[in-house]
Structure 1
Amino acid sequence: MDIAGRVYNHTFKIDPIVRTLLDTDFYKLLMQQMILDLHPNTKVKFSLINRTKSVPLAKIVSEQELREQLDYARTLRFTNSELIWLAGNTFYGQDQMFMPKYIDWLRNFQLPEYDLRVEGDQFVLDFEGDWASVSAWEIPALSIMNELRARSAMRGMSRFEIDVLYARAKAKLWNKVERIRFLQTQVGDDAVKISDFGTRRRHGFLWQRWAIEALMEGIGSSFTGTSNVKHAMDVGVEAIGTNAHELPMVYTALANTDEEMIAAQYQVLSDWSDFYGERLRVILPDAYGTTGFLRRAPEFVAKWKGIRPDSKDPVEGVNEYIEWLKLKGENPMEKIAILSDGMDIDSIEKCVKLFHDKIGATPIGWGTNLTNDFAGCSPIDNDADFKSMSLVCKVTEAEGRPAVKLSDNPTKATGPKDEVARYLRVFGTEGMVEHAVKV
């Protein structure tokens, strides 16, 4: 595919940013199915949050263009072929992961309405309604905003300048592929497991596809799949994902006492396990601090398959998990630690080398630094316009109550200040370390 030519000549009709409802992350579908079954009437609010305040999105991206893309996404419906694939495919070795009741619901699903306005130099973008429906906006909203920013950066560049931009980006990515190949020779192919987690902050749909195919070609069996359901279907790889922070955030927001707040995270795990069984039992412990989560965890948590330490330094997070497993009498070599928070080629090499003989596996969920690393690639003086930003879309209310995420990195905390303070009182600050957020 001539990506540069396609980008230079693209029209809305040929290249809308979100072109199918299947262009989302796999964990969204898994969570949506459970939410529909267990919490069909829960009302929530999701909001776009730009943690990179130095990027004035409302001055970069046209509000009209943003509305056009959001409105177009609302016209999309799942196609019969997509629903047949979801219903009939095997995921994580399990047949019929998605039940007929859920497939029937998807058949008529439409993204709900949105509320968009401008405050200062930032957009305020909110989605309110039934939890299962509103949650589906997270990935398309982030994809749309990130690609509109990239398109803005390329507007005015000539055909050849864009060609050079992509040529350099391809060479930069392929250099990472070569480093992974060398890593395979050092620790063995089985110790290197990498999947694409880059949908939400990607440079663009077409570029994500190119990155996936480059990894398929370049690292062979060490490429284990993609979180993007559309790409997984089209190129025939595994769809990867389990669950996200919105589950404990909503459960905790609905709790009435301090004790119920602390118990909420473990109720999420219990519900998840009851719903999906053993194959998807991966802990996401950092919503209110990993150290406190592990210290208070019921005994059944240690039996789970593994962990995804999402906001601690990956080395610290995996070491903490290994030591906790040993205290619980569990063998770390029978567990996995999925590393997905801002992983780049340096941290991938470091973690795989360090842990390949200390824990069963360290699968890498490679996100922004795979699908949106264009730093230093532009042939003109606009490199800053291509630097990735930390843009999230989080649940901010549940049944009218504020929803809060603390994180192992307090810089990532979301929610009203008084509520963040209350959550810190309830959960404590054990193990939390503040550091800059890059992606």
Structure 2
Amino acid sequence: MVDIATRVWNHKWKIDPIVRSLIDTDFYKLLMCQSIFRNKPDTQVTFSLINRSTHVPLAKLIDEGELREQLDHVRSLSLSRGESTWLRGNTFYGKRQMFRPDFMEWFEGLRLPPYHLERKGDQYELTFEGKWHEVMLWEIPALAVLMELRGRTVLNGMEKFELQVLYARAMTRVWEKVEALRDVPDLSIADFGTRRRHSFLWQDWCVQAMNEGLGGAFTGTSNCKIAMKRELEAIGTNAHELPMVYAALAKDDTALAKAPYDVLEDWHEEHEGNLRIILPDTYGTRGFLDNAPDWLAGWTGIRVDSGDPVTAANIAIDWWRARGEDPTEKRVIFSDGLDVNKIRDLHAQFAGKVKISFGWGTLLTNDFRGLVPGDALAPFSLVCKAVSANGNPTVKLSDNPRKAMGPEDQITRYKRVFGVGEQVAEDVVV
């Protein structure tokens, strides 16, 4: 097992780049990338870094030279032969050759496109512009780089024994969380923590702890590199990015209202009926389900990623019943701001009503809260989102208005088109 504290102490060694592979990313990004490569190959998209936690002054904490060095390293990466073989030949979700030969040939030759970095006050402006299927692959590594560099700023000022104690305490915290979940009956939980992890080595350690401590209840990791390395299932389906860009491409309000369902039609065709998980909250869960075509009710389940999770799950249960479906045969995946108590409470509330799964993110792979003075390693809310498509701004409403993004006039328009009324604001944990 890697001695993480010693590796951090020897931080000047060049053995630990923050991102070490093009598949050191979330599985859903590759699944979406293939769909976009096929269906929207000429769409031009801009991604931008958004620090929701403005109290964290990234430009003060992170040296611009170090940031550029790490981003330039990401641009130098390409698929190794072993990584290509794993993607081409492995079985994902029971399907062999999930990734088509034409997509793999393109991916094997890919180097990520240029980035634009500029300091704006206490924050960095970091953007990526180009063909959608190319620039989208910047999202996860960009977030991982910013999160870890902020952490390294704190760790660089610590002595060797201080680091050993810090990681011992953090490991104990993770293991106590694992132990607290062992008695949850029929638990199904995966690691979703790549984008805002403490570091690659720490995420890898957390995955090993989950795998050993929870056994069959641990279903895998969203991180492709770790899934390959540890011979685990790669977990993931799709994200808000798809409906946000499809909606931005809509020519009028009628096309806009149809865009979220166009996404899932393309997804269904791409995956031949597999990976049928709905992410309904981009423009409001209730409105999405109320206006959904009947064929969507036959899909496997939904992922709940914003707003009050109990409300969203109950809306889905009522929707399935109204469409003649048995909710106990459907899966609800909870993935927003999870920690042990929330996982246990949600499981207790919905056991027997639906099949329950959890995608555990930042508070698995980056929970150093209270472990250093000033809470300087506490996780914070950093995202990298598609902000325009073919020159049109993107919009996300969410079930939590504090996660909404886009120009105000377009937010108003989208709320009208999708019938979004009053929403309850929830704290954005991470």
Relative to the length of structure 2, the TM-score reads 0.98
> Structure 1 residue 433 and structure 2 residue 414: aligned?
no
Any stretches of 5+ residues in structure 2 without a counterpart?
Answer: none
Contact persistence 1:405–1:414 (CA under 8 A): yes
How far off is 1:313 after superposition? Answer: 1.6
Contact persistence 2:244–2:396 (CA under 8 A): yes
Deviations 1:95-136 (A, max 9, x none): 100011111111110111000001111110000000000000
Residue of 340, 364, 367 corresponding to 1:370: 364
Aligned partner of 1:321 in structure 2 is: 316
d(CA) in 2 for partners of 1:64, 1:137 = 19
How far off is 1:314 after superposition? Answer: 1.5
Query: Identity percentage over the alignment?
Result: 54
Q: What aligned pairs does 1:195-214 form with structure 2 within 5 A after superposition?
A: 195-214=190-209
How far off is 1:192 after superposition? Answer: 0.2
How far off is 1:257 after superposition? Answer: 1.1
d(CA) in 2 for partners of 1:438, 1:54 = 14
How far off is 1:347 after superposition? Answer: 0.7
Report the residue type matching 1:315 in the other structure: V
Aligned partner of 1:357 in structure 2 is: 352
Contact persistence 1:310–1:341 (CA under 8 A): yes
d(CA) in 1 for partners of 2:367, 2:45 = 33
> Structure 1 residue 419 and structure 2 residue 401: aligned?
no
d(CA) in 2 for partners of 1:341, 1:80 = 35
Aligned partner of 1:85 in structure 2 is: 86
d(CA) in 1 for partners of 2:296, 2:72 = 42
> Structure 1 residue 382 and structure 2 residue 377: aligned?
no
Q: What aligned pairs does 1:232-251 form with structure 2 within 5 A after superposition?
A: 232-251=227-246
Deviations 1:322-358 (A, max 9, x none): 1111111100111100110111111100111121211
How far off is 1:182 after superposition? Answer: 2.3
SS across alignment from 1:137: helix
Contact persistence 2:415–2:421 (CA under 8 A): no
> Structure 1 residue 404 and structure 2 residue 399: aligned?
no
Q: What aligned pairs does 1:28-67 form with structure 2 within 5 A after superposition?
A: 28-67=29-68
d(CA) in 1 for partners of 2:201, 2:12 = 14
How far off is 1:404 after superposition? Answer: 0.8
Contact persistence 1:408–1:431 (CA under 8 A): no
Aligned partner of 1:285 in structure 2 is: 280
> Please, what is the CA RMSD of the aligned residues?
1.0
> Structure 1 residue 132 and structure 2 residue 127: aligned?
no
Deviations 1:51-82 (A, max 9, x none): 01111111111111111100010000101110
Distance 1:21 1:12, change over 3 A: farther
SS across alignment from 1:225: strand
Contact persistence 2:224–2:234 (CA under 8 A): yes
d(CA) in 2 for partners of 1:288, 1:236 = 36
Runs of 4+ deviating beyond 3 Å: none
How far off is 1:431 after superposition? Answer: 6.5
d(CA) in 1 for partners of 2:277, 2:13 = 39
Contact persistence 2:246–2:259 (CA under 8 A): yes
d(CA) in 1 for partners of 2:207, 2:281 = 28
How far off is 1:281 after superposition? Answer: 0.6
SS across alignment from 1:278: coil
How far off is 1:432 after superposition? Answer: 2.8
d(CA) in 1 for partners of 2:258, 2:24 = 34
Relative to the length of structure 1, the TM-score reads 0.96
SS across alignment from 2:119: strand
Any stretches of 5+ residues in structure 1 without a counterpart?
Answer: none
SS across alignment from 2:183: helix
Q: What aligned pairs does 1:180-191 form with structure 2 within 5 A after superposition?
A: 180-183=181-184, 188=185, 191=186
Residue of 246, 257, 270 corresponding to 2:252: 257
Contact persistence 2:399–2:423 (CA under 8 A): yes
d(CA) in 2 for partners of 1:337, 1:375 = 29
Report the residue type matching 2:344 in the other structure: E
d(CA) in 2 for partners of 1:430, 1:420 = 12
Aligned partner of 1:161 in structure 2 is: 162
How far off is 1:277 after superposition? Answer: 2.0
Contact persistence 2:148–2:199 (CA under 8 A): yes
Segment of structure 1 superposing worse, 345-354 or 234-243: 345-354
d(CA) in 2 for partners of 1:279, 1:84 = 22
Report the residue type matching 2:374 in the other structure: N
> Structure 1 residue 11 and structure 2 residue 12: aligned?
yes
Distance 1:288 1:245, change over 3 A: same
Report the residue type matching 1:22 in the other structure: I
d(CA) in 2 for partners of 1:409, 1:428 = 15
Contact persistence 1:153–1:382 (CA under 8 A): no
